[in-house]
Chain A
């Protein structure tokens, strides 16, 4: 029995690793609960329950999609833990969902942490870029994939092998403010990326457009596509207004006229 559950937990953990990679990379969508339910059902030897639970969990997550960088509860772990729990304990799919969702929320918090922890690696990547070291850039991306695999492998293996209840207690023993604080820091981190872009792109004559874009979203809640179209309209106006060589030369961005 022990041997059997170990093997099953390992197989599910491998599937979790693959599905976890697919959530952000590949995006074949083999990570959706509807697919995961079938696989977990096959591994645990109860295909009908797996399919039905997977479909039920799928509908819970149907509206939870990654929009504009905001991450919903983790669909990979939610689907896998939920289905495994339903089959192993013989509970209703609805109860399985109740167990799966808190897990999925906690896992997503860890993902936030990973996205934060990977930020400093970018400076290694800058160095490789400077040296034109293409292998180095590739290694960094493979490291990212490997990290994802190991993370999902561990997160799926432990609760299935040791029981879902025990794992839930561990998650709840972490101080909430620490997890919340890392999440907040994650939300602020994009400011550094934009600041680096501004350091290169922002010249005095462009400050006006930065303000326009900011105002359009802040006060008019415009979607980015609308902001881009307004930017395009201004750019086209500017382009055709100065369609002699003179205008561009007078702006003096760089010495030579056209």
Chain B
């Protein structure tokens, strides 16, 4: 059993067993204000490689990459850091800068890799929600309202007014949050240095609670099948699955993927399986579609 595990995930276990070991453990301050500003500009491409499997992960890595390169001069350390930042990531594209600031401060102080991961995961979900409410549901309608009321009379200045108001708030926040995140992160780390393991544990608790919630809200699968038993009609989703537990399919599918990953299946195969299931699910059979 133990040897089987070791065979399946040699890389992961090497990383998890030595999460604190950096080949170059120096914690010199190398990130400057200019670096922070530069990274804000890069974070405009956060969703350049957006996809359903990791969402913003590669764009996130792109955004912080010059910072990581400056911090980790050791190639092995850089590789470990880059690998962990390629994991699933999704948040609001404006508020991402505060997470960037905090994570960079943690990387610079060579914090435990698991702690960095947990902080990143714990922050992305809530900030996503706050950002949606703040920007898409508040700032955007206000700016659009001002601009469109001018435009309805055929006045092209409306568009300009819209762009100026929106972007003053947009970029003000981005640069402000980046700095705030970095300095708050640096200060918090030095006061928490004594307790890194406990912080890692605490962050993992928040992180996994959030992941549990994200599975329920992000993964979307619904059965569409109606079973005809004599005169009775049973809708698979509403009458059966929802009675057992709502979101049972999203949870079940995530756990299935987790199980298959642990069994050593590559994520690419899992994507293919998912696409095939999706298409089969929507084929109009005589008895209706499955999904």
**A residues whose Cβ falls under 8 Å from a Cβ of B:** 24-30, 32, 34-35, 37-38, 41, 47-48, 51-52, 54-56, 58-59, 62, 65-69, 115-123, 125-126, 128-132, 134, 137-138, 140-145, 148, 177-178, 180-203, 206, 209-219, 222-225, 227-232, 234-236, 238-239, 242, 248, 251, 253-254, 258
Contact = CB atoms under 8 A, between A and B. Distances in A.
Contacts of B87: 196-197, 200
Interface in B205-223: 205-221
B136 A217 contact: no
A11 to B, nearest CB: 17
A68 B148 contact: no
Given A199-B12, A201-B211, A54 B274 contact: no
B94 interface: yes
B208 A138 contact: no
Given A25-B46, A218-B245, A248-B198, A193 B122 contact: no
From A187, A193, A198, residue with most partner B Cβ within 10 Å: A193
A219 to B, nearest CB: 7
B126 A129 contact: no
Contacts of A188: 219-221, 253, 274, 277-278
A177 B211 contact: no
Interface in B153-193: 153-156, 158-159, 162-163, 166-167, 170
B197 A228 contact: no
B121 interface: yes
B213 A55 contact: no
A34 B148 contact: yes
Classify the interface of chain A: helix, strand, loop or mixed: helix
Interface stretch (B24-32, B47-55, B229-237): B47-55
B197 A258 contact: yes
Contacts of A211: 212
B198 A34 contact: no
A194 B126 contact: no
Given A132-B78, A228-B213, A231-B206, 5 more contacts: A32-B144, A122-B49, A193-B57, A213-B211, A239-B202
B131 to A, nearest CB: 10
B202 to A, nearest CB: 4
Contacts of B281: 181, 184
Given A185-B274, A227-B209, A58 B151 contact: yes
Interface residues of B, number: 125
B203 interface: yes
A195 B129 contact: no
A52 B75 CA distance: 56
B158 A51 contact: yes
B58 A125 contact: yes
B202 A238 contact: yes
Task: Decide if the interface of chain B is mainly helix, strand, loop or mixed.
Answer: helix
B282 A184 contact: yes
A222 B213 contact: yes
A115 B52 contact: yes
Contact of A213 (B54, B170, B213): B213
Interface string B257-291: 11011100011101100110111111110000101
Nearest to A122: B54
B280 A181 contact: yes
Given A193-B55, A201-B118, A258-B197, A143 B86 contact: no
A223 B48 CA distance: 27
A185 B83 CA distance: 26
B111 interface: no
A201 B117 contact: yes
Contacts of B201: 235, 238-239, 248, 251, 253
A177 B284 contact: yes
Contacts of B144: 32, 34, 58, 62
A48 B157 CA distance: 12
A25 B94 CA distance: 11
Nearest to A256: B197
A129 B82 contact: yes
Given A32-B162, A181-B280, A214-B251, A196 B118 contact: no
B271 A189 contact: yes
Contact of B162 (A35, A48, A182): A35
Contacts of A189: 51-53, 271, 274
B125 interface: yes
B138 to A, nearest CB: 11
A144 B198 CA distance: 39
Nearest to B86: A129
A228 B52 contact: no
7 contacts: A26-B44, A122-B57, A129-B85, A181-B278, A195-B257, A200-B117, A227-B210
Contacts of A180: 282
Given A184-B278, A231-B122, A29 B86 contact: no
Contacts of A236: 202
B163 A66 contact: no
A69 B218 CA distance: 8
Contacts of B210: 213, 224, 227-228, 231
